[in-house]
Amino acid sequence: MSRLKDRTCNLSILHVFKIVLIAVTIGSVNCAWAEDWAKLRENMVKKQMKARDITDAEVLRVMGEVPRHLFVPKHAQRYSYSDRPLPIGEGQTISQPYIVALMSQLLDVKRGMKVLEIGTGSGYQAAVLSALGAQTYSVEIIPKLSVQAEGRLKKLGYAAEVKNADGYYGWKEYAPFDRIIITAAANHIPRPLLDQIKPGGKLILPLGNTQYYQTLTSVHIKEYGKTDVSYYSYVSFVPMTGEMQK
Ligand code: SAH
């Protein structure tokens, strides 16, 4: 009888030990995952940005902080810090991390500036702009993406206003903007957007053939309506739809 009692006692100690072991293992797996995302981000900044031509300290800081894996569908999460664009549903894509960094660097955002993005998509670029300290406004033409991005940005604590509309017409209520960034391919510069930039402001967009490649283009709006246009690398974005296609 006393033996049986001892055994029971031993068994339950073993059980407690097993439970503790399982709990510790689960805990460390969770920690490992959390650390992995940060590590992946750190590597992304080092190999895809610093090793190329991203030198803006604020852009590098923000790219190392914004949790890109929370902006892509679950099945694509493990590729979220890879050097490539990813599908985000509705036939749309989130740009390659390097392109987001490059466009943010070219945009030259300073704290407190009012920035308009056309093509919210997942909300990732909007989160980057908000983390750079910009008052961020973003327009998305696909209702489902716009609702999702708005909820995601709110949940993650990024201050950004999102609207479902054709971004060709900008966002008059909040104009003029210091900066405008178009993250869909355009074959011309929408006039309403030019009219919504402050003198001294800037517009960055992928300009060219909307079905194939475009040139990353920066338009600097000078005083008296004059503009300075600079061209950078070739890129390939999903087409801007709506009025742009008419
Ligand atoms: N910046 C996004 C990715 C952009 S993908 C991100 O960080 O995830 C291009 C997005 O532009 C798509 O979501 C597409 O629906 C949207 N788009 C295309 N044409 C548009 C238009 N005329 N106005 C607003 N958004 C548009």
Please give the pLDDT value at position 225. 75
Question: Could you tell me the CA-to-CA distances from 90 to 143, 154, 184, 199, 238 in Å, in that order?
Answer: 10, 21, 14, 36, 11
Portion of the chain with pLDDT greater than 70, in percent: 86
**Is 210 near ligand 1, meaning CB less than 6 Å away?**
no
Across 179-186, average pLDDT:
98
Q: How confident is the model at residue 82 (pLDDT cuts 50, 70, 90)?
A: very high
Ligand 1, atom 10, lies closest to the CA of 119
Q: How confident is the model at residue 26 (pLDDT cuts 50, 70, 90)?
A: very low
**Is 153 near ligand 1, meaning CB less than 6 Å away?**
no
Q: Where are the domains of the chain?
A: 55-245
What is the position in ligand 1's atom list of the atom closest to the CA of 145? 13
Across 156-180, average pLDDT:
98
**Is 207 near ligand 1, meaning CB less than 6 Å away?**
no
**Is 118 near ligand 1, meaning CB less than 6 Å away?**
yes
**Average pLDDT over all residues of the chain:** 91
**d(CA 197, ligand 1 centre) in Å:** 20
**d(CA 235, ligand 1 centre) in Å:** 15
What is the position in ligand 1's atom list of the atom closest to the CA of 125? 7
**Is 218 near ligand 1, meaning CB less than 6 Å away?**
no
What is the position in ligand 1's atom list of the atom closest to the CA of 166? 23
Look at the block and give the residue holding tokens 């750190």: 42
**d(CA 40, ligand 1 centre) in Å:** 26
* Dist CA 139 CA 190 (whole Å): 14
- Which CATH number is 55-245's, of 3.40.1080.10, 3.40.50.150, 3.30.365.10, 1.10.287.810? 3.40.50.150
Dihedral of the alpha carbons of 136, 140, 146, 151, in degrees to the nearest 10: -10
Given 80, 95, 146, 218, which residue is catalytic?
95
Q: How confident is the model at residue 181 (pLDDT cuts 50, 70, 90)?
A: very high
Cβ(83)–Cβ(96) below 8 Å: yes
**d(CA 53, ligand 1 centre) in Å:** 25
- Give, to the nearest 10 degrees, the angle between helix 97-107 and helix 124-131: 40
**d(CA 88, ligand 1 centre) in Å:** 11
Give the β-pairing of 92-94 and 86-89: antiparallel
Q: How confident is the model at residue 223 (pLDDT cuts 50, 70, 90)?
A: confident
Task: Verify whether residue 95 is a known catalytic residue.
Answer: yes
* Dist CA 126 CA 149 (whole Å): 9
Ligand 1, atom 13, lies closest to the CA of 121
